A and B are shown apart, each in its own frame.
Chain A
Amino acid sequence: MKLYQVIEIVALLSGLIAYKTIRPDFLKIIVALLFITVLNECLIVPYIKKVGIINRNYAYNIFSLIDISIWFFTFYKIEAKRIFKMVIVGTATICLAYTLLELTVLKSWEQLHPDSFRVYNIIMVGMATIYFYRIMLKEYHNILLDSLFWISTGCFLFHFIFFVNITMLAEDNFWDEKTSRLIFNFLHNIANILYYSCLTIAFYVCYLNYNRAPKKSPPASFR
């Protein structure tokens, strides 16, 4: 088992343990995404590799479409302002349309879609940055106990590093380097470690907040 698979499983397990305590409720969808991720990377892809009937990029491409949809849905729910919600719907439509265009017309399902994925990376970094900006505007906000902050941080770090990584990958000069694959793997590993660690922290924070919150409703005079 590879390192990133171990971290994925740890994040999924922490999500499952904290499942009942995850607030806001829409964040529970991330546990489902982690389940699909683990299923894809630990079972489906190794099986396809072993059997060798179809190209494994089919699995990656289908998974990336699910990943994009879930993350757009999550940030749509996180954003409170109507204008930002509309921007997210717009960018999600463009991003998904471009991904499908790249997969069906410009390239094929047997190839990965780095160009549209870079667009997705930029949008994700943008959405996370908007969230950071919003919490900085607040008078008081305990950032360390905010699960949405940790989720946004995970997305920001992963997509920022991944954008640079795929961009380097697209450069012909990069492949002249004998060690380019090693660098790609190194950055990819770091991005995954940061991403799944942040998701694990977010679940832990949910668990912590749930157990700190008063269980009984306050008496009428305090409401």
Chain B
Amino acid sequence: MLFELQQSTKEIPSSFIQVAGLLVIFLSVIFIFFLIISRQRQNHLFLQQQIQKEAFEKQLLQSQVEVQESAYTAMGKELHDNVGQLLSTAKMMIGAVQSQSETPSEALRTISQTVGEAINEIRTLSKSLSKEWLEQFNLVENLATEVKRINAADKIAVHFNTVDKLGLLANRQIILFRIIQEAIQNAIKHASPNNIYINITTSSPTITIVVSDDGKGFDTNSKSNGMGTLNMRQRTNLLNGNITWTSPVKGCTVTVNIPLLPEEM
């Protein structure tokens, strides 16, 4: 380029200038080489930091989930041992009053019946909050119990459709159960639906859970998403899955995709 090469002479070049010329080339090439090496090393370091950061965040999430599970267990225990006991005592006293009176009033009988129902409700609730209890059953059975509990109130109809066996590890089942539980609770609390549909399908290597309702829906772009959705997102991350909310006009659909681990397939 620019300057045309001239015909070279056949004489042997002087070593000093030849070395100087070569040194210039060597230095400039070395500079570029070190630039590349240094940049690649910086990239490698950055990627390592990212991996460490992700691992740390995952650990942090795991701890949060464990703390929450312990809190749930404590709450369940408290409900069973404390409130449950108080209600049992109350029912027993109502029974004593009923036996003392020759003609027990209708109101007293209704009170006794209601307290009995409350005792049953608390027992079921405390069971669903207990991690030990959850570990004994699979996700499908736990969800079926939960659905039964909600349907028993006769206010909202929950339709549950699932495959027989999921194959998820027990600790992962609990996390997934909490996600679905939160989705149901959100629908009940905020959407006032008549129906809730839970659909679980597996298409190896992924499990897809869809929780939809026919309630009033919500703005999925709204920044004011509460702790519930944040928890659901964090728990899904913990399972290496993804979660999406869609709410076209009416109703809301929560879709959770969880990839199965090699040992779960």
Which residues of A come within 8 Å of B, CB atoms? 2, 4, 8, 37, 41, 45, 56, 60, 63-64, 67, 112, 117, 132, 135-136, 139-144, 153, 156-158, 160-161, 164-165, 168, 174, 177-190, 192, 194-195, 221
Contacts and interface: CB of A to CB of B under 8 A. Distances in A.
B1 A160 contact: no
B3 A60 contact: yes
Tell me if B's interface is mostly helix, strand, loop or mixed: helix
B9 A56 contact: no
Given A144-B36, A156-B28, A156-B31, 6 more contacts: A45-B4, A185-B6, A187-B21, A187-B25, A189-B5, A195-B1
Contact of A157 (B9, B18, B32): B32
11 contacts: A8-B1, A67-B1, A141-B39, A144-B36, A160-B28, A179-B9, A180-B17, A182-B11, A183-B13, A187-B21, A188-B3
Contacts, number: 102
Nearest to A196: B1
A67 to B, nearest CB: 7
B119 to A, nearest CB: 47
Interface in B1-46: 1-9, 11-14, 17-18, 21, 24-25, 28-29, 31-32, 35-36, 38-40, 42-43, 46
Contacts of B70: none
Given A156-B28, A157-B29, A164-B24, A179 B13 contact: yes
B97 to A, nearest CB: 62
B244 interface: yes
Chain B contact patch, size range:
20 to 34
B47 interface: yes
A139 B46 contact: yes
B4 A140 contact: no
B28 A140 contact: no
A45 to B, nearest CB: 6
Given A144-B36, A153-B32, A192 B14 contact: no
A42 to B, nearest CB: 11
Contacts of B47: 140
Contacts of B13: 177, 179, 182-183, 186
A96 to B, nearest CB: 15
Contacts of A8: 1
